Amino acid sequence: MSAVLAPRVEILPIGHGDIDQMLEVEQGVYPFPWTRGNFVDSIAAGYSSWGCRVAGQLVGYYVLMLALDEAHLLNLSVAERRQGMGFGARLLRHAMSGARRGGATTLLLEVRPSNGKALTLYRHFGFQQIGVRRAYYEAEMGREDALVLRHALTEDSA
């Protein structure tokens, strides 16, 4: 009898040395991805940046900004071929836990109304829409609104 070992999944801090891999994921999932400058600036600002690796390969990441008792999820991305496998949920749980440990009681984010996969994930975790930012995102034909979602962080919220 042989045992099949599942690849090791780790969520680890990411930094400047990971930007090329982050850009590869980002450019594969968004028509208007973050730029290298967006990632450089976020890491330089000290935002909480974590990556999910499977057998050493980056499959997703998030960038979280903490300010007093509020956290803002700036980016959460999972490589297209790895979506639907639970990595987004794993990263979101990690972000929520980290935000709570950092003193946040609320987690905010913006999401495109057209991003059905992300909306499904956030709604599964109990995020509620609290607003709309008109013409927030670049789009193929002009601009697209952003839905502003909020989640109260409690010990049992993840």
157: in domain: no
Cα(131)–Cα(128) distance, integer angstroms: 9
Q: Give the rounded percent of residues in the chain with a pLDDT score beyond 90.
A: 85
Q: What is the tens place of the pLDDT at every residue in 94-109?
A: 999 999 999 999 999 9
Q: What is the mean pLDDT of the chain?
A: 93
133: in domain: yes
Per-residue pLDDT averaged across 68-90, rounded?
Answer: 96
Phi, psi of 153 (to 5 degrees): -90, 120
Count of structural domains, the chain: 1
Cα(110)–Cα(100) distance, integer angstroms: 19
pLDDT of residue 2: 55
80: which DSSP letter?
G
pLDDT of residue 3: 61
32: in domain: yes
1: in domain: no
Residue 31 has pLDDT above 60, yes or no: yes
User: At 23, which amino acid appears?
Assistant: L
40: in domain: yes
Residue 157 has pLDDT above 70, yes or no: no
Per-residue pLDDT averaged across 49-75, rounded?
Answer: 96
Cα(27)–Cα(135) distance, integer angstroms: 21
Q: What is the tens place of the pLDDT at every residue in 106-154?
A: 999 999 999 999 999 999 999 999 999 999 998 888 999 999 999 999 8
158: in domain: no
Residues of the domain holding 117? 9-152
3: in domain: no
The CATH number of whichever domain residue 82 belongs to comes to: 3.40.630.30
> Which DSSP helix (H) or strand (E) runs through 18?
none
Q: pTM higher than 0.85, yes or no?
A: yes
65: in domain: yes
**What is the separation of C-alpha 100 from the centre of its chain, rounded to a whole number of angstroms?**
16
pLDDT of residue 7: 76
DSSP alpha helices (H): ranges in the chain? 19-29, 36-44, 87-101, 116-124
| Pairing state between β 70-78 and 106-111 | parallel
